[in-house]
Chain A
C-alpha cells in the first residue's frame, strides 16, 4: 500500500480539485473543537461526559473508515484521494487519543485501580485499549522519513495493522451497547465491506498470473 502518486491508477483517475492537506486537518478537527466548546458551555445534554466520550470514539471510527475507503475508491471508481490518506489516518489516531483521554481523565478520574480492573475484566475496554495500542506505531511511522527508513514494503506490512484496528474498533463499539441497536451494526457492515473487498481483491490477484513482483 506504499503510496506514491505515480501509481498507475492515479493518473487516469477522476480528477478532483486538489486542496491543501492542512485543510483536511482543519476541517477534521471541527467536530472536536465543537464538542469541547459545547461541553464547556454545558450543551451536551444531561450526561455531557458520556456524550463527549462516545462522540470522540465515533469520530475516530469514522476517520478510520475514511482511511480504509481510499484504496477501494481508487481501484473501483478511479477516485484518487491518496494524498489525503495520511491526514485521515492521523485524524483517526488523534480522535482515538482524545476518546481515550476522556475515558481516563473525565470518566474514570484517573482512578488507576478502576482503569486497570476495566482493562483486565471488560473485553470491550481490553479491545479498545489494544486497538489504540495498534494505532500508536502507525501514527509514529506516518512520516516520509519513516517510510524511507523502513522501506516501502516493510512499512506497508506494518500499516496493514490498520485492518486489525478497524476490526477492534467496531467490536469495541458493539460490545459497549445494550442489545443490538442498528448504529454499531451499520459501522460493522461498512468495515466488513472495506476489508472484504481487500480480501477478494488480493485473492483475485493471487489467482491471476503476476505481472510484477509483489
Chain B
C-alpha cells in the first residue's frame, strides 16, 4: 500500500491559510450578494467586517430576534412590532448624508463611500430606553468623531444637529392625520458629546448591515443616553452654534430633555427611572435590575457634565 507522505507535497503547493480563508469569505460574500439581489429592498443584510473594541461590554447579548423585532421607530408606527413589519418600504440605497452648517468642508457623502472609508468596529453597548427597558446590542460602526474631524467644524460650531429622512411616501407614520411627533425626527448633541469616543454612527448590528427597523442605513448610538437620542436613518448633520431643537423635547419638554442622560435619580415625570427590565431575561417573570448612572458609562462620560445640575439639565 502506498502511503503518500506529507513531504511529497511541496511547500510551494500549499495554499496559505489566509488565502483559502479569504477565498471562502469571498465566496460566502458573493453568495450573500446574489441572495441579497434576489431579496426585496429592506431585507438585504450584507456582512460587515469589524474589529473588536475595548469599549464593548461582555454582558449577555440580547437576541438578534428581539433586537430586530422590538423597536421604537414611530415613522413606521407606534407599536413595538410595527417597524419590523412596515420599515421595508424605506429605500436605503442610494443614500447620502448632507453635512452642512458651521463646517470648513460641507459635503454630501454617499453611505457606501462612508462605510468604505471608515474603520468599522464592533461595539457591544447597553441600550436603555426611556420607557424602562434595556438591551445589549452588538453594533457595528465607527466613532462619530472620525466624521466630525473630516468635515472640519468651525470654532463657532457648538452642537451637532441630526435629521432623519423625511419621506411620507415611504414612512406611514408621516402620513398619519394625528402626527405623533413634529416630523422629521431631529436630535442633537453638544460637540464634546459628539466627539466622545463612545459615540458612534452605527451601520450594522450582529455583524451585518442594519435592518431598516433599526435605523438603516446609518444611525446614531450614544450609549449613556436614553435610546431616543439614537436618531435613525440619518440624512443630515448640521453643525450649529445654538442648542438645536429635538423631536421629543419639542413634543414634551418637561418629559424629554435635550441631554437625556440615563439617570436613575431623575425620574420621568410619569414613571420611575430607578430600575429597568432587560429584554429577553426571564420572559414573563422578568426581574427588574437597577438602572446605572449614565447607563454604566459614568467612568467615561461623567466628566462631560461636571458642575452641571443634572436635575435641571435632564
Which residues in A have some Cβ–Cβ distance to B below 8 Å?
Answer: 39-40, 42, 44-50, 52, 106, 108-109, 111, 114, 117-118, 121-124, 175-183, 185
Is the pair B80, A47 in contact by a Cβ cutoff of 8 Å?
A: yes
Tell me the complex Cα distance, A181–B251, Å.
12
Give 28 A-B contacts (CB < 8 Å), ordered by A residue.
A39-B284, A45-B80, A47-B70, A47-B133, A47-B277, A48-B284, A48-B286, A49-B286, A50-B277, A106-B286, A109-B287, A111-B288, A114-B275, A117-B272, A118-B272, A121-B267, A122-B270, A122-B271, A122-B272, A124-B270, A124-B271, A175-B270, A178-B248, A178-B255, A179-B252, A181-B178, A181-B180, A185-B178
Is the pair A52, B270 in contact by a Cβ cutoff of 8 Å?
A: no
Judged by a CB distance under 8 angstroms, whether B119 is at the interface is no
Which one, B70, B80, B270, contacts A176 given CB within 8 A? B270
Judged by a CB distance under 8 angstroms, whether B66 is at the interface is yes
Q: What DSSP secondary structure best describes chain A's contact surface?
A: helix
Tell me the complex Cα distance, A118–B271, Å.
8
> What is the distance, in angstroms, from A89's C-beta to the closest C-beta of chain B?
28
Known contacts A50-B133, A182-B176, A182-B178: does B78 contact A44 (CB below 8 Å)? no
Interface string of B267-311 (1 = CB under 8 A from A): 100111011010110011111100000000000000000000000
> What is the distance, in angstroms, from B67's C-beta to the closest C-beta of chain A?
8
Number of A-B contacts (CB under 8 A): 79
Judged by a CB distance under 8 angstroms, whether B131 is at the interface is yes
B-side interface residues, number (CB < 8 Å): 34
Known contacts A114-B272, A122-B271: does B285 contact A106 (CB below 8 Å)? yes
Is the pair A52, B80 in contact by a Cβ cutoff of 8 Å?
A: no
Q: What DSSP secondary structure best describes chain B's contact surface?
A: loop
**Cβ-closest chain A residue relative to B271:** A122
Which one, A45, A48, A106, contacts B69 given CB within 8 A? A45
> What is the distance, in angstroms, from A106's C-beta to the closest C-beta of chain B?
6
List the A side residues contacting B272 at CB < 8 Å.
114, 117-118, 121-122
Judged by a CB distance under 8 angstroms, whether B92 is at the interface is no
Judged by a CB distance under 8 angstroms, whether B181 is at the interface is yes
Is the pair A179, B251 in contact by a Cβ cutoff of 8 Å?
A: yes
Judged by a CB distance under 8 angstroms, whether B81 is at the interface is yes
List the B side residues contacting A50 at CB < 8 Å.
133, 277
Tell me the complex Cα distance, A137–B131, Å.
33
Known contacts A122-B270, A175-B270: does B284 contact A49 (CB below 8 Å)? yes
Is the pair B80, A46 in contact by a Cβ cutoff of 8 Å?
A: yes
List the A side residues contacting B180 at CB < 8 Å.
179-181
**Cβ-closest chain A residue relative to B78:** A181
List the A side residues contacting B181 at CB < 8 Å.
179
Tell me the complex Cα distance, A44–B279, Å.
12
Is the pair B280, A46 in contact by a Cβ cutoff of 8 Å?
A: yes
Tell me the complex Cα distance, A182–B74, Å.
12
- Among B74, B271, B287, the one with the most A-chain Cβ atoms within 10 Å of its Cβ is B271
Which one, B66, B78, B270, contacts A46 given CB within 8 A? B66
Which one, B131, B176, B275, B285, contacts A178 given CB within 8 A? B131
Taking A47-B277, A50-B133, A179-B251 as given, write out 10 further A-B residue pairs in contact, using a Cβ cutoff of 8 Å, ordered by the A residue number. Answer: A45-B70, A46-B279, A49-B284, A106-B284, A109-B287, A122-B272, A176-B270, A178-B131, A178-B252, A178-B255
Is the pair B283, A48 in contact by a Cβ cutoff of 8 Å?
A: yes
**Cβ-closest chain A residue relative to B72:** A178
> What is the distance, in angstroms, from A1's C-beta to the closest C-beta of chain B?
34
List the A side residues contacting B252 at CB < 8 Å.
178-179
Q: Which 4 A-B pairs have the closest CB atoms?
A: A46-B70, A46-B66, A181-B78, A179-B180
